[in-house]
Structures are given as C-alpha cells and as structure tokens.
Amino acid sequence: MKKFYKIMEEKINSALTSCGYQDNDVVVFESNRKDLADYQYNGAMKMAKEYHKSPVEIANEIINNLKNDSFFKEVSVAGPGFINMRISDEALINFTNIDDYQYENKDQLIFLDYGGANVAKCLHVGHLRSANIGEALKRLCEYMGYKTISDTHLGDFGRPLGLVILELSKRYPEWVYFDKEYNGEYPNVPITSSLLEEVYPYASSRAKEDEEYLKEAQTMTKRLQNKEKGIYDLWQKIMEVSKTDIKKIYDRLNTSFDLYKGESDAEFIVPEVLKYLDKLNIVEESEGAKVISVKEEDDKLEIPPMLLIKSDGGYLYSTTELATIYGRMREYTPDEIWYVADKRQELHFTQVFRASKKANITTDNTKLVFVGFGTMNGKDGRPFKTRDGGVMRLTDLLDQVKLECLKRLNDDMDNRDELAEIISMSAVKFADMLPNRETDYNFDIEKFCDLEGKTGPYILYSAVRMKSILNKAKESNIEYSNLKKIANEYDRDVIITLNNLDLALNNAFNSKSLNEITEYLYRLTTTFNRFYTENIILKEEDTSLRESWLYLTSIVYKVTSLLLDILAIKIPERM
C-alpha cells in the first residue's frame, strides 16, 4: 500500500536531522485551510522548549531545508510556528499514478468473536451492531494482510435451551425424544423457527412467575448438559433449525463466519480447565464459591474476582468464556483475539482476560482485545421496541428499512425488490458504523435512507454514477491509463483525499472503529461529486485532461468499491 503521509514524514525527519533537531513522533496533519496549504506540521511548537529557541525560528530553519525539495510547491511558516506545505503537482501526479493499494501479507493470526446469536431465539436489533462491526473489522484485517478466523459463538447450551425443551415436552409429550425407554431412531418432528420463536418467550415468562416450572427447567438444563439420550438428540434437531434461520439473517447482512461454535463446545472443555486451574493454586474460596482474584495494583476502579464456580456447584458465563479461550489457544494459537460486544460487558471481559493471563492460558504476547460498542436506539432516543413494548426483531427492522427504500424507487424499475434490498442494507450498515463504535446513536429510518447527506444510499448513488461514467467511456472507446495533469482545485482535492487512504485504514484498524472509514468514504464521495459537477468529463476536448479525469474517476471508484466491500456493502448495477 502506498503511503503518502510516510513520504512527508520522512522528508521532515530528514530536514530535522540536517538542522540538528530530533522529533521522535513526527505527525503531519491535513490542513483545514485549503487556500493556504495541503498539509501542516506543528513539531516546532513542542521542540522550542527543548532547544531553547522560538518555534518560529525552528520552523524557519526547517522550511529553508525543505524549499529545495521538488516534492513541495510551497512551504511557509504561519502563526506561532506552524509549517504549511503545498505539494507540487508533479509529486501528486507521480504518487497518484502508482497503482499499489494492497498491503503485504502478515504472519499474525487475529481471531474475531462477534455476532453472539442465541439458538432457539430470534435475532433482535441488539444483534445488529456486533454483526456489522465484527464483519467489517474482519474484512479490514484481511485487507491489511492479517490472517483471520471468525466465530459467532452461539448461545446454545444454557438455561434458555432447557426452557425450550421443557416447554416442548409439555406440549408434545408423545414425542419419543422424551421417552427414556425408547431405543430406536429418532424421527423428524415439526420443529420450525416460528415455533421456537413462540416457545422461548412463553417459557421464559412463565419461569419468572412459576417457581416449580423454573425448577423443572433447571433440571432439564442439567439433563441436556449431561447429554442425556433423547434430550440431547432433540437439542441437535433444534440446533439444525435455528442455525439455518440464523445464517439466513447473517447472509442478508452479508456477514459470514468461519466457525459456528458455541457454549456447548466450551462446556466439554470446562472440566479440563477446572482441573488445570486447581493445579495452579490460583483458585480461592469465597462464601462457598470459587473465584480467581484479578485485581492489579494500578487499578483505579475496583475489579472484583472472577466467579468460577457458584456456591451451588454451577458455573457462569465467565467460566465457559475462559474455557473458550483455552480451546481457541490450543486449537488455533492466535496472536490476537478480538471480542466485539456491547460496551456494558467490559468488566466481564476484563475479568476473563486477566484470569486467562494469570493462568497462563494466554501468553504475554497474546493480545486480548475487547471491542465494545454503544447502543442503537430508536428515532426518539429510546431503546428500539415493538408497538407492544417488546424488543424488535432484527428482521422486522430490516424489512422496515427496505420498505422505506421501496417507496423511493420508481414502480417500473427492473429488479426493484432486489435493488431495494441492496440499498436498504447500505442504509443500515453505513448508519450503524458512522458514529464512533462506543457512541450510542439514534436510528432514523427516513434520514438514513435519504440519497443526500451521510448515508449509505448517497455513497451507493455516487458509486453507480462513477461506474456509469467509466462504462460510457468504454462504449465510446476512450482510453485512459494515468493522470497527466491537474487542472483545478477540484482535481487537487480529489487527489489529496485519495492519498489519505492509508491513514484512514490504519486509524480504523488501530481504533477498531469503522467511523474512520465511513467518514473518509463520505469525504471522498463529496469531493468527487464537486469534481464531477465542475468538470464536464466525457465532453472535454483536451484529450490529456479528459484522460486524466477519467483516470481519477476510475481510482475513486476503485477505492470506493474496496471500502464498501470492507463495510460488507454491495454496489448495485444502477439506481
């Protein structure tokens, strides 16, 4: 990947060395005043105290060294010591013509845990951000050369499944799955996703009001976890139906996983992990329960011990989470494990991460990362709810957005339904990743489906426009191969924005927040649209200029396409 910022930073470092200065953290900023400069360096301000000189004096020495470099069209000092730099047309043209948008492959393996769907329960709006952010981060890692493994880590073996199986046993006692004496093959039974979606809420609600029913559910959960014949076989049938339904929704979101493992896989590792932990002498007794102390000396807030085994002998999500890490390290030995989940789970993951380090389940070189995200709320700023006050199903939200997009399409359009689906997914995904991931935000369907403003449909419409220009050029046999000249400020703005791609991608990777990419995409798109409005590309009589503009259009389309792909957003043929 070509790195424009690195070139400037290297040139400034060289100038600093020539002048007898040192800045261990040279940072170049894009200028907010395009009429004055393309980029700015403010290092003279922080070096002034160390070298006992005024910032202006240091800045003047630096620019005197840079003035002789043909890379710069103009360098000057502004204010109390800011160095303004305008890049030469020749340097911009040469860099833009370098066709290198790929990163080198790296040896590191990053394991990403996101999605978090629960078996036998419908995905609700709370599952959206994990799927969107996790999928985009995975694609970003892959684009930047990392190897990845992704796992949705299904909730598939706890009390919710015990509740479902218990209620099925009461409704369908004749099913042979509940006959302990049955020894034949188990037949297919009418388990459907709609049945499961109806059974779980009912059973869950009843368990809260009926203590005897809750005890029965607890017993059924233990029978399942003990892999009792019949009960375990029915669970496998439920898994088949639920996984198929879950995958359909993830497919709609253009989200995929390498693994569909779950709590059930960790359950079988737990006894081994507990035995291993006992040998380390790090498990303590606390009011009849077993815990692992994870506090550290520099903690500013109290971090309570991780509960390993409850006083009644049962264990919690943190125990299976620790077992999951144990299994992943043994099977895949990842360099990093990223968990994408609601930011309110931060304490849970802090405890688990520290326990895994303390138990040497992960090494000092293993990087465990919690990628917490904020809540998606309704237009009114309150949690998304159905009209009856329940949690909205994810499919219902997606259908509402699609309906809004259908309203905006002409009735006589070909493939209207398919087009509305693509546009609606862009609206949902772009809106979901536009704010910083830790920020709560309000989902406004009408606003996010608009063709203007910071929306997915706006980005798609612009991408389709670029593609149309390039297709028309092809039909007219107009060839172009590189950038030959820069005619105006609109050309220049597009080029400068393109050259900041590497910075945007690295910022997104380092912050684990896709808003770096969505903001960059919006800026690139609006910059291109101004360029398109001011330049009559296909009708330009100056051949070299027309070819330059077409080349720029092709590069913007290329970058737009790759960034939309990272965000798991498809581009339609037309809009």
Structural domains in the chain? Answer: 4-87 (3.30.1360.70), 159-252 (no CATH), 394-566 (1.10.730.10)
Indicate whether 73 pLDDT > 70.
yes
> At 334, which amino acid appears?
P
For residue 225, the surrounding DSSP H or E stretch is helix 211-225
Q: Determine whether 173 is exposed, middle or buried from the number of CB atoms within 10 Å of its CB (0-12, 13-18, 19+).
A: exposed
What CA–CA distance (Å, rounded) separates 390 from 204? 14
> What does the pLDDT look like over 483-492, one tens digit per residue?
999 999 999 9
Indicate whether 390 pLDDT > 80.
no
Indicate whether 298 pLDDT > 80.
yes
Indicate whether 388 pLDDT > 70.
no
Give the C-alpha distances (Å, rounded to integers) separating 223 from 34, 161, 220, 229, 468.
69, 11, 5, 9, 61
Predicted local confidence at residue 158, as pLDDT: 83
Query: Is the CA virtual torsion 118, 119, 121, 125 positive or negative?
Result: positive
What CA–CA distance (Å, rounded) separates 23 from 46? 9
Indicate whether 226 pLDDT > 90.
no
Predicted local confidence at residue 386, as pLDDT: 63
Q: Report how far apart the first and last C-alpha atoms of the chain are (Å, whole number).
A: 32
Q: Determine whether 212 is exposed, middle or buried from the number of CB atoms within 10 Å of its CB (0-12, 13-18, 19+).
A: exposed
Predicted TM-score (pTM) above 0.75 = yes
Give the pair of three-digit tokens for residue 55: 């910032």
> What does the pLDDT look like over 442-470, one tens digit per residue?
999 999 999 999 999 999 999 999 999 99
Confidence band of 315 (pLDDT split at 50, 70, 90) = confident
Please check whether residue 200 is in contact with residue 274, taking contact to mean a CB–CB distance below 8 angstroms: no
